[in-house]
Structure 1
Amino acid sequence: MAKKRRDVRDSDNLSSSAQTEVKSEAQQSIGGSTRMSLLILASIFACSASVMYLVYRNFPELQDDEMEKIKIPKDMDDAKALGTVLSKYKDTYYTQVLVAYFATYIFLQTFAIPGSIFLSILSGYLYPFPLALFLVCLCSGLGASFCYMLSYLVGRPVVYKYLTEKAQKWSQQVDKHRDHLINYIIFLRITPFLPNWFINITSPVINVPLGVFFVGTFLGVAPPSFVAINAGTTLYKLTTAGEAVSWNSLAVLGILAVLSILPVCFQKKLQQKLE
Structure 2
Amino acid sequence: MHGGHSSAQAFMNDYDHHSEDDDDDKTTTDREDKASTELSPGWAAWQRLVPRLALFVCAGAISFYIILQLANLLLSIDLPHTLQDVQAIAVQLDTMTTTGSWQDYFAVVIVFAVIYLWQQGFSMPGSVLLNLLSGHLYGVVAGSLWTSYLTALGSTLAYFLGWLVGTPAMEMSWIKRRADAMREQMDKEKKSTGLFWWLLFARLFPFSPYWFINLASPLLGIPVLPFFWSTFLGSLPYNFVCAQAGEVLGELTSTSDILTVSLMFKLLLVSLVSLIPIIWGKAIQAKLRGWLQRGQKDDEEMELEAHQSSLGYIPVSTAVN
Q: Same fold (TM over 0.5)?
A: yes
| Cα distance in 2 between the residues matched to 1:158 and 1:59 | 39
**What are the equivalent positions in structure 2 for 1:195-214 lying under 5 Å apart?**
195-214=209-228
> What residue in structure 2 maps to residue 146 of structure 1?
157
**Out of 176, 183, 192, which is 1:171 matched to?**
183
| Cα distance in 2 between the residues matched to 1:115 and 1:266 | 36
Give the structure with higher Rg (CA).
2
> What residue in structure 1 maps to residue 87 of structure 2?
80
Q: Structure 1 79/53 Cα, relative in aligned 2: closer, same or farther at 3 Å?
A: closer
Q: Structure 1 17/269 Cα, relative in aligned 2: closer, same or farther at 3 Å?
A: farther
Query: Which secondary structure state, in structure 2, belongs to the residue aligned with residue 208 of structure 1?
Result: coil
Residue-by-residue CA offset, 1:225-262 (whole Å, 9 max, x unaligned): 11111111111221222211455544442332222221
8 A Cα contact 2:277 2:284, kept in partner: no
> What residue in structure 1 maps to residue 79 of structure 2?
71
Q: Identity over aligned residues, as a percent?
A: 26
Q: 1:264 is aligned with what amino acid? A: I
Q: How many residues end up aligned between the 2 structures?
A: 255
| Cα distance in 1 between the residues matched to 2:271 and 2:120 | 22
Cα-Cα RMSD: 2.8
| Cα distance in 1 between the residues matched to 2:188 and 2:31 | 38
**What are the equivalent positions in structure 2 for 1:45-124 lying under 5 Å apart?**
45-49=60-64, 51-53=66-68, 55-56=70-71, 58-60=73-75, 62=76, 67=77, 70-73=78-81, 75-91=82-98, 92=100, 93-124=104-135
> What residue in structure 2 maps to residue 254 of structure 1?
268
Does the alignment pair 1:28 with 2:43?
yes
Q: 1:175 is aligned with what amino acid? A: D
Unaligned runs of 5+ in 1: 1-12
| Cα distance in 1 between the residues matched to 2:203 and 2:135 | 20
8 A Cα contact 1:186 1:221, kept in partner: no
Q: Structure 1 159/236 Cα, relative in aligned 2: closer, same or farther at 3 Å?
A: farther
Q: Structure 1 265/23 Cα, relative in aligned 2: closer, same or farther at 3 Å?
A: same
**Out of 183, 192, 199, which is 2:197 matched to?**
183
Unaligned runs of 5+ in 2: 1-27, 290-321
Q: 1:151 is aligned with what amino acid? A: G
TM-score using structure 2 length: 0.71
More displaced, 125-134 or 254-263?
Answer: 254-263
Does the alignment pair 1:39 with 2:39?
no
